Structure 1
Amino acid sequence: MLTCLEHFPNELLFHVFRYTDTRDLFHGFYGLNQRFISLLKSLQNRSLIIEKNESKLICVFHCQIHKLVVDTCLNIDFTKFPHLKSLILYDLTENHLSQIRSKLMPNLTYLSVASTNTSWYLTDLLSCIFSDELPSLTTVQLQNPIPAYSNISFNISLSLRSIAVCCRSSYIIVNILSCCPNLRKLQMIVNENQLVLFYNTTIVSNYSVKTFILSDVYSMIDSNDIIKLLEYMPNIERFRLSFTCSVPFIDFARIVVDRSPHLDEFDCHIEMSTDDDMTCIESLHQLHPALKRITFTSDEIGYRTYSTD
C-alpha cells in the first residue's frame, strides 16, 4: 500500500518538522490543508534567517520565532516577534539599534553582532548593552573590533553572564569586569591592529568570572599581559588560551597556577617565540592536574607549540 506523508501521525510529523528549516516548512506545507496549517501553527521555538523581504512568512510564524538571524539592511519590525530570545545581526542599522530595548524585546537573552558588521552604530549598541536597557540579556558576542578609544558609556549590568568581545584595548576589558559583577565567562578576541594594554588602569577584581578565553592569532599580546589580566579575575577555574609566549612555558605555567587557586581546566594552543629548551613536559604535568593533558610538538628549528588539542 502506498504511504503518503499525510498518513503520518502528528507525533512523527512534529519530529520531522523539528529538523526542517522554517522557510522550507512555509513553502512546502503551509496552505496544503487545514491539518498542516494547524500543525505548523502549533510549532514552538522556531528559528528564522531573514535575508530579504519575508513579510508573508513572518505573518505566519512571528509568534513562534525564538531565534532570529538578520542578514540584511532592510528595516525589520522586531515587535512582530513577541517571544524573541536570541538575535544575531550581520548588518547593524539605525533601525535595528533603535529597537534593541527591553520594552520591545522583553525576553531577549542572547545578542550577537557578527564580524562582517562595520556599522557606525557599534558604540551606541555597546552603551545600550552595558546599561539597564536590557535586563534579561545574559549572553553577548561582539565579533566586530571595538576601537581603543570608543566613547562608550559603561554602567552596571547585573544580568550579563557571558561576553565575547573583539577589542584593541585593555580599557574595554577592565570596564566590562567592573560593570558586570555577575559575569561568569569572558572571551577576549585580540584584533590584528595595535593593541593598547593597561594604560592608566586600576585593578578592579571581578570574583564571579570563572572562565577566561583568549584568542590572539596575530601575536599582539604576550605572557606578561595575560599575567596582568589574572589580577582582575582571581577566581578563574577554566582557561582556554591561544597566543604566542615569549618566556619559557614552564615559568608562565607556574605563575598561572600560583595565581589561580581554583584552577580546574586548562586548554591551550600556545606557540613559543623562542626555542624553549627549559620546559620539561614531565615537570609541567607535575605542576597541577589541569596541565596533564598538555603535549608539545617541535618544528624543524626546535620551536615548540604546546597544545591540548
Structure 2
Amino acid sequence: MDKIFPDEIFLQIFQYVPRLDLFRSFYNLNSRLNRIISESNVYLGSVSLNKEEQQYILPYVQPKQIYSFPVFEEEYEYSKLSQCINIRELTFLSGSKEYNVYRYEHPQLIHVVPSIFPYLKSLTIYVQSCSGVYGDLCRMIFGNQFSVLESVYLPYGNNQCVSGIKTWSTNLKDVTIKCCNKSLYYPLLNNLPNILSFHCVFGVDSHGSLKKEYLPLTHIYLGTNDKLPTLFDYGTMAKLGVTIDLLERSPNLERTILFICDYHELGYIIDQLNRVLSNCPKLISFDCHIQHFRENSESINEIKNRYPLFQNCSAHTWTISGGYGACRIQK
C-alpha cells in the first residue's frame, strides 16, 4: 500500500488518525512512512501527556512538527522544547501539592522568547514564582514582542510586569491574570488597544484610574481574593465603583461574571448594575455575585422587578459569616 499511494494521500489520511495511534501503529514500519509522519503537524494539546503518549510520541516526534505542547516537568521531560519553532499553543502545567508561589519555577520558561517561538498565539502558565525570567517574559508579552500572540493566562502580575514598556501589544485579545494587582490592572486596560476578553482576580490594592473613555471589551470577569468577614474592616479590591467604572466604558459587552463586595444595601448595588448593563445592547449573559454590608429593606423579587433587565433573571439571597448579606443574580 505504501508503494501505491502518493505522500499526499497518506498525509490526508493521517489527519484523521488519533496522534497516539499514528505513532504507535505506523511509525517504524518503514523509512517512507517515518518520513511522511515526520511531515505531519502534531497537536499535543494543553493537558498532561499520558504514559503511552510519553512512550510512543515524545521519543519520535520531530520538534518542528509540534504545534501545541503541554510542559509538565514534574511528570515528563522534553529536552527539545527550544527547537519547537512552529508551536502555536504552549501550556505550563503543575500538579505539585506542595506548590509555593515563592519557590516554584519552570526551568523551561527561559526558552519562551520571540526568537524561538515566532508563531506563538496562546500561552498559559498556571503557576510560577516571582523571578527575573518571569518578569522579562511578561514585559515581552505586553510589550508587543510576540508578534502574533493573542491569548495569555498568567498566575499573577503587578506593575513590574509592564515597567519600561514603550510599545504595547496590538495583538492581545484575551488576557487572564489569576492574581492581578491594581498596579497592573489599570496599565493593561489603559494601553492594550484590542483587548476583547479580560479575566482578573484582584490581589493587592493600589491607586489608579482608567484613562480611556471607551474599551473594546466583550467579555469581563472580575473577582477578588478578599474574604469575608475581614473585607469590611480593611477595605476590598472588588469595590462597586471599580466595577461600575469598567462597565461604563464597555458598551460592546456580551458576557460578564462579576464578584462585588460593597457597603451599600442590595437595592442600591443592583440599581447601579442596571444603570450600566442596560447600556450594553449586545449583552447576552451576566452572573453577578454580590456581598453587602447593610440589611435589605426590600426582598430580592421586589428589587429585580423594578428593572426590565433583571425581571426574568434567576436571583436568590442568603446570609453568610458575620451576618453579612449575599446575593446571586444571573441571566
2:240 is matched with 223
> Structure 2 residue aligned with 1:97, among 106, 110, 128?
110
Q: Cα gap change, 1:109/1:163 in structure 2, threshold over 3 Å: closer, same or farther?
A: same
Q: Cα gap change, 1:299/1:54 in structure 2, threshold over 3 Å: closer, same or farther?
A: same
Q: Is the 8 A contact 2:291 2:324 kept in 1?
A: no
Q: Verify: 1:44 aligned to 2:62, yes or no.
A: no
Would you say how many aligned residue pairs link Structure 1 and Structure 2?
290
Q: Is the 8 A contact 2:300 2:315 kept in 1?
A: no
CA deviation string 1:79-104 (max 9, x = no partner): 53232110112475575335421x32
Structure 2: how far apart are the matches of 1:153 and 1:232?
26
Q: Cα gap change, 1:177/1:271 in structure 2, threshold over 3 Å: closer, same or farther?
A: closer
Structure 1: how far apart are the matches of 2:107 and 2:248?
38
Q: Cα gap change, 1:233/1:153 in structure 2, threshold over 3 Å: closer, same or farther?
A: farther
CA deviation string 1:157-195 (max 9, x = no partner): 11111101134432211111122111111111224xxx2
Structure 1: how far apart are the matches of 2:160 and 2:144?
23
Please state whether the residue corresponding to 2:58 is helix, strand or coil: helix
Structure 1: how far apart are the matches of 2:141 and 2:298?
45
Q: Cα gap change, 1:44/1:291 in structure 2, threshold over 3 Å: closer, same or farther?
A: farther
Please state whether the residue corresponding to 1:69 is helix, strand or coil: strand
Report how far residue 259 of structure 1 moved. 2.8
> Structure 1 residue aligned with 2:205, among 192, 196, 204?
196
1:209 is matched with 217
Identity across aligned pairs (percent)?
Answer: 15
1:251 is matched with 268
2:83 is matched with 80
Unmatched segments (≥5 aa) in structure 2: 1-9, 94-103, 228-235
Q: Is the 8 A contact 2:219 2:256 kept in 1?
A: yes
> TM-score normalised to the size of structure 1?
0.75
Structure 2: how far apart are the matches of 1:166 and 1:110?
16
Unmatched segments (≥5 aa) in structure 1: 1-9
Q: Which amino acid aligns with 1:57?
A: L
Q: Is the 8 A contact 1:169 1:196 kept in 2?
A: yes
Structure 2: how far apart are the matches of 1:51 and 1:147?
35
> Structure 1 residue aligned with 2:178, among 166, 177, 180?
166
Structure 2: how far apart are the matches of 1:14 and 1:133?
32
Report how far residue 58 of structure 1 moved. 5.6
Please state whether the residue corresponding to 1:104 is helix, strand or coil: coil
Structure 2: how far apart are the matches of 1:167 and 1:302?
25
Please state whether the residue corresponding to 1:60 is helix, strand or coil: coil
1:292 is matched with 312
Report how far residue 50 of structure 1 moved. 7.1
CA deviation string 1:213-240 (max 9, x = no partner): 1122534423233223335545433221
Please state whether the residue corresponding to 1:256 is helix, strand or coil: helix
Structure 1: how far apart are the matches of 2:66 and 2:153?
20
Please state whether the residue corresponding to 1:203 is helix, strand or coil: coil
Q: Is the 8 A contact 1:209 1:233 kept in 2?
A: yes
Relative to structure 2, which stretch is displaced further, 156-165 or 45-54?
45-54
Q: Cα gap change, 1:286/1:237 in structure 2, threshold over 3 Å: closer, same or farther?
A: farther
Q: Verify: 1:129 aligned to 2:141, yes or no.
A: yes
1:67 is matched with 68
Q: Verify: 1:262 aligned to 2:280, yes or no.
A: yes
Report how far residue 253 of structure 1 moved. 2.7
Q: Which amino acid aligns with 2:272?
A: I
Please state whether the residue corresponding to 1:146 is helix, strand or coil: coil
Q: Cα gap change, 1:249/1:303 in structure 2, threshold over 3 Å: closer, same or farther?
A: closer
Q: CA RMSD in A?
A: 3.8
Q: Verify: 1:305 aligned to 2:316, yes or no.
A: no
Structure 2: how far apart are the matches of 1:13 and 1:98?
30
